[in-house]
Amino acid sequence: MPSYPILYSFRRCPYAMRARLALSISGQVCELREVVLRDKPPELLAISPKGTVPVLVVGDGSVLEESLEIMIWALQKKDPQGWLRPDHESMAMMQALIGECDGGFKYHLDRYKYPQRYAGVDAQEHRGQGSQFLAQLNTQLETTPYLFGDRVSLADRAIAPFVRQFASCDRSWFNQQPWPKLQDWLTTFLDSEGFQQIMQKYPKWESGAVGSLFPPS
Ligand SMILES: N[C@@H](CCC(=O)N[C@@H](CS)C(=O)NCC(=O)O)C(=O)O
């Protein structure tokens, strides 16, 4: 295939999901290399020793190692839905909310979802702590259907994969919480064509092989 940017990705990783969402809406065709986290390819570790996904290698050889960086790179090339130009507030406000998601909320999400990985952790306590961020999102969604207005923005798509993961730990508990706006927002995201498209399955990429074209045509 012609040489496209190379995306190292893992289907179920929420960071990789947000990167794929932006690459897909922006129509940036990539060679997707599906990584298995317990068996990372040496090609990935050679260009990005920190060993996380997603990683995007672009045409000039630059390596983008952060999911948000990949989103912004793609959207700066083409942003057909105006994700970088929210109806309300600013890029800085969106980045601040995404920072809260990636910081405190992710910390509690990990300890709620995988308590066995941490010593002396009480999953329910972390569910309660993480809920504070979700209640805040619900309040924000009381005035508009999306986090920063009447349209999808960078923040919606950067944060939704993490809310999905939190919700799926115990979906019936999540559905019982007093967050009707957040529940609708999540359902709209999960039902969206964009989300379905980025969740297509790809075989594990093997060194030396050609990856899969993404987004799928
Ligand atoms: N700050 C990074 C975090 C990426 C990250 O932590 N990804 C996880 C998968 S969801 C990972 O690759 N972990 C490495 C591992 O599990 O070995 C980003 O935004 O891209």
pLDDT digits (tens, 9 = 90+) for 17-51: 999 999 999 999 999 999 999 999 999 999 999 99
Q: What percent of the chain has pLDDT over 90?
A: 94
Architecture of domain 91-192: Up-down Bundle (1.20)
Q: pTM for this structure?
A: 0.97
The CATH architecture annotation of domain 6-82+196-214 reads: 3-Layer(aba) Sandwich (3.40)
How many C-beta neighbours within 10 Å does residue 67 have?
Answer: 27
Ligand 1: centre distance to CA 52 (Å): 4
Q: Which residue, judged by its Cα, is nearest atom 14 of ligand 1?
A: 52
Say whether pLDDT at 149 is over 70: yes
Check if 51 has its Cβ closer than 6 Å to any atom of ligand 1. Answer: yes
- Please tell me if the CB atom of residue 66 comes closer than 6 angstroms to any atom of ligand 1: yes
For a mutational test of ligand 1's pocket, the pick from 17, 53, 114, i.e. the residue with the most ligand atoms closer than 8 A to its C-beta, is 53
Share of the chain above pLDDT 70, in %: 99
What per-residue confidence (pLDDT) applies to 22? 98
How far, in Å, from the CA of 211 to the mean position of ligand 1?
Answer: 20
In tens, the pLDDT along 106-121 reads 999 999 999 999 999 9
Rounding to the nearest 10 degrees, give the CA dihedral for residues 116, 121, 122, 123: -50
| pLDDT tens, residue by residue, 71-86 | 999 999 999 999 999 9
Q: Structural domain boundaries of the chain? A: 6-82+196-214, 91-192
- Would the CB of 67 count as within 6 Å of ligand 1? yes
Quickly state the pLDDT bin for 3 (edges 50, 70, 90): confident
Q: How confident is the model at residue 1 (pLDDT cuts 50, 70, 90)?
A: low
- Using H for helix, E for strand and C for coil, what is the string for the chain? CCCCCEEEECCCCHHHHHHHHHHHHHCCCEEEEECCHHHCCHHHHHHCCCCCCCEEECCCCCEECCHHHHHHHHHHHCCCCCCCCCCCCCHHHHHHHHHHHHHHHHHHHHHHHCHHHCCCCCHHHHHHHHHHHHHHHHHHCCCCCECCECCCCHHHHHHHHHHHHHHHHCHHHHHHCCCHHHHHHHHHHHHCHHHHHHCCCCCECCCCCCCEEECCC
User: pLDDT at position 2, please?
Assistant: 60
71 alpha carbon to ligand 1 midpoint, in Å?
15
d(CA 134, CA 132): 5
Query: Residues 167-207: pLDDT tens digits?
Result: 999 999 999 999 999 999 999 999 999 999 999 999 999 99
CA–centroid distance, residue 87 to ligand 1 (Å): 30
Nearest ligand 1 atom to the CA of 53 is 12
Q: What is the mean pLDDT of the chain?
A: 96
pLDDT at 217: 78
